[in-house]
Amino acid sequence: MQKKIFKNMCLLALVAVVLSSLLIALVYYASFDNRMKNEVREETQFVRNAVELSGEEYLQTVAGTPNRITLIDGDGTVLYDNQAEAASMENHGDREEVREALTGGAGEATRMSGTLSEQTFYYAVKLQNGQVLRVAAETDSVFAALLSILPWIIGVALVAALVTVIFSRFLTKNIVAPINSLDLDHPSENTAYDELAPLLSKIHRQNEVIAQQIRSLREKQEEFTSITENMSEGFLVLDHNTDILSYNTSALRLLGVEDAPADTHTSALALNRSAGFRSAVDGALSGTRSEQLLRQNGRCCQVMANPVWRDGEVEGAVVVILDITEQEERENLRREFTANVSHELKTPLTSISGFAEIIQNGIVKPEDIPRFAGNIYVESQRLITLVDDILNLSRLDEADVQLEREQFDLTALARDVAGRLKPAAKKNGVVITVIGDKAEINGVKSIVDEMIYNLCENAVKYNRKNGRVTLTVSQEPAGTALTVTDTGIGIPKADVDRVFERFYRVDKSHSKEIGGTGLGLSIVKHGAAFHNAKVSLNSTEGEGTTVRLVFPA
C-alpha cells in the first residue's frame, strides 16, 4: 500500500510539473508573441509616419533593421523591400494583409513567407497616397526564445520532481504510519482516520464473531477431550493412511505404549505391531467393520474398528479398544465356580443317595439303620451349609439393596461369635479369647457376623490340640480393626495368595474329615469389599495364622 501511494503521489506530482511547465511555456509564448506583434505594429506606425513626412527616401535609412519592410503600390506592385529585390518579387495584391489594409486601412496575417521560407507575421497599413506599408517579423524567433528558456524549465522541473519525491516519501510514511499502527485486536480503540471508522467497525464486529466461534470451538474441543480422556475405553481416529488424527490416554495404556507419540500424525501401526491390531485397522480401512482380540502383558482387549465414509469413499477409521480382562476373568471364575459347585453338591448328594438306596433295598441290618441315617443327616447338613454359603456369596456379589446398614458394637459381636463356637473349640481343646473395648462400626451386622464366624471357625478347625484363638478389637487411625490370631497348623507360603479363592482348600485330602465348603475365606473377602474394609492374612506354616480386618472410620 505504501509503495502504491508513493507511486501515485510521484505520478501526480510529475503530471503537475509537466502540465505547469507546458502552461508556463504557453503563457510565455503567448506573451512573447503578443509583445512581438505589438512591437511590429508600433514599428509600422513609426515607419508610416516617417514615410509620410520624409517620403520613400526614409526607407533607405532603415534598410538594415531586423524586421522586413515592404512598400506596395495600390495595384499590388512591390515598390520597395529591404530584404529582397522589389523587381523580382511577385504582385502582392492578393496578400491577405494587403487587401485588408487597402479596404480597411490596416491588416495583418501570419503565414510562411515565399521569399524567406520562414513563418512570418505581417502587419500592413495604408498610406495617404494609396500605397501600403507592410512590416514583417519572423515568428520563429518566438520558438527560439522558448528554446532559450527550455533548460531553465527542465531544471526547475527536475528540482520540483526531486522535491516531490522527497516530500512524497515523507508524506506517504506519515499517511501510512497510523494505518500500520492500527490495533486490529481492539479496532474500536483506534483514532487514525475518520474515513477508516466504517472499516474498523466492521473489523470489530467480525472479531467478535470470530472470537465467539473460537470460544465455541474451544468449548467443544475441551468437551470432546474431557469425554475421551475420562473414558476407560481406548479411542483412536485414523485417516486413510493409518495416521493418528486424535487419541486418548486410555488407548495408549491399553496398547501398552509408555510415551505419547511426538506427532499426532504418527501411524497407528507404530503403537502396536500385533497381527490382531493390524488386521482390525486394515479391515476398517478396506470398508469393513472389524473386531479382534488383543492379548498382551496379561491383559485381554477387544479392538473394534469401524470405517468412516465420505462421498462413497473410506476417509479413515474409528478404533475403540475395550479392556475385557475382568470380563474374561469373571467368565473363567463362573465356569470354575459352576464346576466346583457341581462337584461339591454331587459329593454329599451321592452319599445321601447311596445310603438311602442301601436302606431301601433292605441290605442294611436293622441295627445298622441308625448309623446310616446319621450319615445321611451329616451329609444333608453339609449340603445345607454349602447352599447357605453359596447364597451368601451370591448376595454379596449382587450388593443386595435390601441389606440395611446399622451401628453396632464390633467387640460385642465378636464375643457373641466366640460364645457360639466355644462348644466346638472345647471339643478340640482350643481356647477362644476376645480382647477389646466397645467399638462401633456402621455395616450389615449379619454379614459381619458371618465374616467373624468363618474366621473363628477356620481358626478352631485348623488349630492344634490345646491351641488358642485370640480375637482383638482396636481403634486405629485408619478405622476399627479386628484381628483373629490362632496357633494352628498355618498355611504354606505357596498357598497364602489363593486361600481367598472360592472352594480352594490347602489340604484337599483332609477336607472331608475337617468339614467345610471352601467358601469361608471367600465370604470374608467379599464381605470386606462390601464394607470397604481391608483384609490381610499372615501365616507361618507350623506356627499359626493371623487375619486382620480394618473397617473404615
| Spatial contact of 1 and 179, defined as CB atoms under 8 Å apart | yes
- Tell me how far apart the alpha carbons of residues 410 and 407 are, in angstroms, rounded to a whole number: 9
Side-chain-side CA neighbours of residue 361 (13 Å) = 7
pLDDT confidence band for 499 (50 / 70 / 90): confident
Q: Would you state the cell numbers that stand for residue 453, as one nine-digit string?
A: 464366624
What single DSSP character describes residue 36?
H
Mean pLDDT of 92-118: 82
- Mean pLDDT over each residue of the chain, to the nearest integer: 80
pLDDT tens, position by position, 437-449: 898 999 888 888 8
Q: Would you state the cell numbers that stand for residue 111, as one nine-digit string?
A: 503565414
- Tell me how far apart the alpha carbons of residues 108 and 97 are, in angstroms, rounded to a whole number: 5
AA identity, residue 519: L
Which of 293, 255, 297, 274 minimizes the C-alpha distance to 247? Answer: 255
Mean pLDDT of 273-282: 88
pLDDT confidence band for 306 (50 / 70 / 90): very high
What does the pLDDT read at residue 16? 78
What does the pLDDT read at residue 120? 85
pLDDT tens, position by position, 139-148: 755 566 567 6
Mean pLDDT of 98-125: 82
Q: Would you state the cell numbers that stand for residue 508, as one nine-digit string?
A: 484337599
Phi, psi of 380, rounded to the nearest 5 degrees:
-65, -35
Q: Would you state the cell numbers that stand for residue 233, as one nine-digit string?
A: 475405553
DSSP reduced 3-state for 475 = strand
What does the pLDDT read at residue 514? 45
Range scoring the smallest mean pLDDT among 82-96, 256-270, 528-542? 256-270
Burial 234-256 (b: 16+ CB within 10 A, else e): bbbbbbeebbbeebbebbbebbe
Q: Is the pLDDT of residue 450 over 50?
A: yes
AA identity, residue 502: R
Which of 137, 104, 103, 113 minimizes the C-alpha distance to 123? Answer: 137
pLDDT tens, position by position, 341-389: 665 566 667 777 777 777 777 777 777 778 778 777 766 766 676 666 5
Share of the chain above pLDDT 70, in %: 82
